[in-house]
Chains A and B, each alone.
Chain A
Amino acid sequence: MSDPKHESEAARKARNGRNIAMFIGLMAFVILVFVVTITHLKGNVVAGPSF
C-alpha cells in the first residue's frame, strides 16, 4: 500500500474519485433495494390477503 504522506496529487485525486464512485454505487444499491421492496409490498397490498 502507498504511504499517504508521500502520495502524489494525481493519486489523491484518483482515490477521491474512486471513493465518490463507490459511495454513489452503494447509495444507488440501497435506494434500489428500497424501491423494489416497496414495489413488492404495493403489489401484495393490491392483491389483498390470501386467506
Chain B
Amino acid sequence: MSKTTAADLDRADALAPPAQWQDYVQLLKPRVMSLVVFTALTGLFCAGAKLNPVLAATAILCIAVGAGASGALNMWYDADIDALMRRTQRRPVPAGRVQGADALAIGLVLSLFSVALMYLAVNLLAAALLAFTIFFYAVVYTMWLKRSTSQNIVIGGLAGALPPAVGWAAASGTAPLNAWLLVAIIFFWTPPHFWALSLNTEEDYRRAGVPMLPVTHGEKATRTQILIYSLILAPLAVLPAITGLGGVAYLAAAVAGGAAFVALAARLAIRGAKADAKRLFGFSIFYLFSLFAVLLVEHIVGAAPFAHLIG
C-alpha cells in the first residue's frame, strides 16, 4: 500500500489555492448533515411533546453542528487515506485547501459549542446523547474501527443511527423504546447501504488499506451479508406500525419498500452484477428517506397510529 505522508500533505498545502469559506462548509459534510437533520427532525416530531419552536430549532441546529463537527474530525484524521481514494481525494484536507490542524480545531470547537448549547437550551439527556454520537463517530469509528476491522461500518453505523434518539430526547427529555426502534432501523440499514456502495469502490478501499468487507472477505461474502441484513431490516422497519408509532401509510411504505429492498438484495446476491449493487445503493437512500418522511408527515398531520386502528 502506498502511504501518503505528512510531507506529501504539506506539499499539497503549499501548492493548493487559498481556502475559501466554502471549503470549511465542505469540511462539515453537508450531505451527511442533511440526512442527520432529517432523521433527528422525525424523532423530534414523533416524540409528540410540546417543545417551544425556538428551542426545537435550536436542538436541530445543535444536532446539525454536532454532525458537522464529527465530519471535520473525520476529515482531519482520515486525510492520509482520503488522499488515496478517488471519491474523497478532492476533500478540503487531502486537497490541501484546509490544513489538518484547522480541521481538528474546527471539529473540537464545534463539538464543544453544539453539546454545550444543547445542554443549556434543551436538556441534559439530549446533550449527552449528542456528545456520545460525536465521540462514537470521531473516536470509535474513525480512529479505531475503520482501519482495524471489516465490521467497521456495522458497529460504527451506530453513530449515524442515533440522531432520531437525540431529536426525541430533545423534545421530551426521554428516549423510550420507539426512539430506539428508529435507531435500530438506521443501524440495520447502514451495512447493506454502505456495502452496496463499497462493491463499486472496492479498489479505492484496497489501495487505501481500509478493511471494507469486499476487500477482506470478497464480493460473494459481501453480497450474502447484504442479503442477511436486508432480511433483518425489512421486518424490523414494519415494527413501528405495531408499536403505535406509524400509521397505515407508514405500514404500506414499510411493507412495499422492505419487499423491494429484499428483492434487490436477493438479485444482487444471485447475479452479482455491479449495476445491481448500484441500484440497491440508490434504492436504499430512497427507502430510508421515504420511511422517515411518511412517519414525519403522519405525526405532523396527526394521523392515527395503525396499532390504535386495529386494537
Contacts and interface: CB of A to CB of B under 8 A. Distances in A.
A10 B18 contact: yes
B273 interface: no
Say whether chain A's binding surface is mostly helix, strand, loop, or mixed: helix
Contacts of A36: 54-55, 58, 117, 120-121
A43 B52 contact: yes
B18 A32 contact: no
B144 interface: no
Nearest to B52: A39
B110 to A, nearest CB: 10
A33 B20 CA distance: 27
A20 B18 CA distance: 15
Given A39-B52, A43-B52, A32 B58 contact: yes
B54 A21 contact: no
Contacts, number: 36
B155 interface: no
Contacts of B24: 18, 21
Contact of B54 (A8, A17, A20, A35): A35
Given A36-B58, A39-B52, A10 B17 contact: yes
A32 B20 contact: no
A33 B116 CA distance: 11
Say whether chain B's binding surface is mostly helix, strand, loop, or mixed: helix
B236 interface: no
Interface string A27-51: 0010011011001100100000000
Contacts of B52: 39, 43
B21 A32 contact: no
Interface string B60-91: 01000000000000000000000000000000
Given A36-B58, A39-B54, A14 B20 contact: yes
Interface of A: 8, 10-11, 14-15, 17-18, 20-21, 29, 32-33, 35-36, 39-40, 43
Given A10-B18, A33-B120, A36-B121, 14 more contacts: A11-B18, A14-B18, A14-B20, A18-B19, A32-B117, A33-B117, A35-B54, A36-B54, A36-B55, A36-B58, A36-B120, A39-B52, A39-B54, A43-B52
